[in-house]
Amino acid sequence: MSNQPKGASKRTEQFFSELTDAIDQSYEEIGQSLARFFNGLTPRFEASRYIDKELNRELAHHFNIFDYLRNDELGLSAIIADLLNPNAKHGQGPIFLKLFLERLEFDEIWKSADLHNARIATEETIESSRRIDIYVRIPCSLGPLCLVIENKPFAGDQSGQVQDYLAHLRNRYGKGRFRLIFLSGDGRPPSNDSLNRKELMKFVDNSEFLIMAYNEISSIDEGDGDEFERFRTSFTLVNWFESCRISCRPDKLRLLLREAESYCRRKFGDHKVMSNREIETVDEFLRENPQNLNVALAVFEAWPSVRHSICKRFLEHLRDRVEREIRDAGIADAESICVKTMHPNEKAGQNKLLFYSTNWRQHEGSVAEETNGRTSVMFENYGNWLGNWIIGVRSPSPEIGKDEEPKRRQLEAELTVILGEGKKDEWWLWRKFIDPQYANWQSSRVQDLATELMNIERGEPLQSEVSEYVTREFVELARKTFEVISEAEGVR
């Protein structure tokens, strides 16, 4: 029996009742504020979008040549390497290389470098079969120097990758005679698995290891900024493209560099969905209606969580659809089919849709918990960004024993015969990027995903182009590879 006086009990009950009413009223006011904000902005925004569309028809200001070229990691590396090459067809000699090096901190040794005779290589193979994206050998009267760029615009790095590069450079060139630039889309550092933080501190004093962003530092996890600030360059790849454009005269080359600037600004950090005119419309609306600034800030802060929620629910929708179609197609024994999704959080990478058979062998010592140590067909975002997705066949472990290596090489070869040329690495037996027009779940395709989810909730299962494409590609990949994987993985 309670010892609390009846009056106190009533006051407590009244307090919580009033608090509940206040919370409900607050939520209602927030909803009304959001409605007023969007009702006021939407007509202006639609008008602005119409004007921008008409202007683009006349001026093609949304056109960018890089959208039609190879703009994956290898394609971008080839362009950067060619600009750095003093003997390339651009005809500008070592000026672009000089502009790059001038922005880095160098001692007197580097000032004696013979840039005219620098030699550039891409995909340079070093110990342990590692391949460095861009490798610049620079002669010097005081001994050879080296500039290395590890280009990671979208991709995550591999286990021990950067650590191996630094060990190679230190052994080959000696202390202070090399620079390793880790070039990432948004200025992210290499993973701790790629470069141990204790090892990293060995390269502080001589600026031998530096981090550069394509455009601007964004989406850096909390805490990373302070830890890596000393390693970040004061300029970005976009800044370098701009300096190169200003420093050269040929119109064709200036046009290419301007397009490179524009592409990187749009792809890495700046607005990716809205045109300049649409941004100006939003800016004008908020200046005229300052009472809406707090609502705009709330929408901005909520966006990463909203996007992650949409991505998570859409992957789960794809999971259900893919599993149904794999069963209907009779690709695998119904009881052995396992289709899963993974989506850690809005800041992390490795959002996945995967399929494997429980009849496939479990590899001992595997770190792939999501497949219980089995090879899988997988659809995954590439790196820590939802703007690029890859699909392929993934190994349960990057490390294989000598007894397993012949089987793995045979499986890789058979997959290439079946699927054609694809990329492979320590994790992936075969992979490819999906069609770019369906890839950007970071921004431009989010509305399509949300609309399809809304239609499903309303009982109108209209499939979006993204859903149709990903499901078709995934199920077809599973169909083509199932027997080959089953043979290699020893069906029970």
* pLDDT single digits (tens) 1-33: 455 565 667 766 766 676 676 676 766 666 666
pLDDT exceeds cutoff 80 at 419: yes
Q: What is the pLDDT of residue 1?
A: 47
pLDDT exceeds cutoff 70 at 161: yes
Alpha-carbon Rg for the chain, nearest whole angstrom, is 27
* C-beta of residue 168 within 8 angstroms of C-beta of residue 126: yes
* C-beta of residue 464 within 8 angstroms of C-beta of residue 451: yes
Residue 87's SS3 state is: coil
| 79, 262, 405 from 234: Cα distances, Å | 22, 20, 44
Provide the terminal-to-terminal Cα distance of the chain, rounded to the nearest Å. 64
Q: What is the pLDDT of residue 103?
A: 83
The helix/strand count (H/E) of the chain reads as: 14, 10
pLDDT exceeds cutoff 60 at 222: no
Tens-digit pLDDT profile for residues 317-336:
999 999 999 999 999 888 89
Q: What is the pLDDT of residue 327?
A: 94
Q: What is the pLDDT of the chain when averaged over all its residues?
A: 82
Strand 428-433 to strand 178-184: parallel, antiparallel, or no bridges (unpaired)? unpaired
Tens-digit pLDDT profile for residues 31-45:
666 677 667 767 776
Which of 14-23, 70-79, 300-309 is the least confident region?
A: 14-23
Q: What is the pLDDT of residue 90?
A: 95
* C-beta of residue 492 within 8 angstroms of C-beta of residue 359: yes
Q: What is the pLDDT of residue 59?
A: 67
Contacts of 159 (CB under 8 A, 6+ apart): 193, 194, 398, 426
pLDDT exceeds cutoff 80 at 388: no
Handedness of CA 270, 274, 277, 280 (dihedral sign): negative
Strand 389-394 to strand 352-357: parallel, antiparallel, or no bridges (unpaired)? unpaired
Q: What is the pLDDT of residue 288?
A: 80
What tokens appear for 378 in the block?
């997988």
Q: Of the ranges 99-113, 119-133, 281-295, 439-453, which is most confident?
A: 119-133
Q: What is the pLDDT of residue 175?
A: 86
Q: What is the DSSP letter of 269?
A: T
Q: Single out the residue of 413, 414, 408 nearest to residue 426, CA to CA.
A: 408
Gap between the Cα atoms of 294 and 287, Å rounded: 12
Boundaries of every domain in the chain: 73-267, 304-489
Sheet holding 119-125, edge to edge: 119-125, 131-138, 145-152, 178-184, 209-213
Average pLDDT over residues 151-166: 83
Provide the percentage of residues in the chain whose pLDDT is more than 70.
Answer: 80
Average pLDDT over residues 369-392: 82
pLDDT exceeds cutoff 70 at 372: yes
Which of 146-150, 276-280, 412-416 is the least confident region?
A: 276-280
What tokens appear for 262 in the block?
């524009």
What tokens appear for 132 in the block?
């460095």
Provide the percentage of residues in the chain whose pLDDT is more than 90.
Answer: 35
Q: Which stretches does DSSP call E strand in 382-467?
A: 389-394, 428-433
Angle at the Cα of 453 from the Cα atoms of 449 and 456, rounded to 5 degrees: 140
Gap between the Cα atoms of 326 and 120, Å rounded: 48
pLDDT exceeds cutoff 90 at 342: no
Q: Which residue has the higher pLDDT, 185 or 91?
A: 91
* C-beta of residue 346 within 8 angstroms of C-beta of residue 307: yes
- SS3 breakdown of the chain: % helix, strand, coil, rounded to 5? 50, 15, 35
Gap between the Cα atoms of 456 and 250, Å rounded: 54
Q: What is the pLDDT of residue 43?
A: 76
Q: What is the pLDDT of residue 27?
A: 61
Q: What is the pLDDT of residue 211?
A: 92
Q: What is the pLDDT of residue 31?
A: 64
Gap between the Cα atoms of 69 and 71, Å rounded: 6
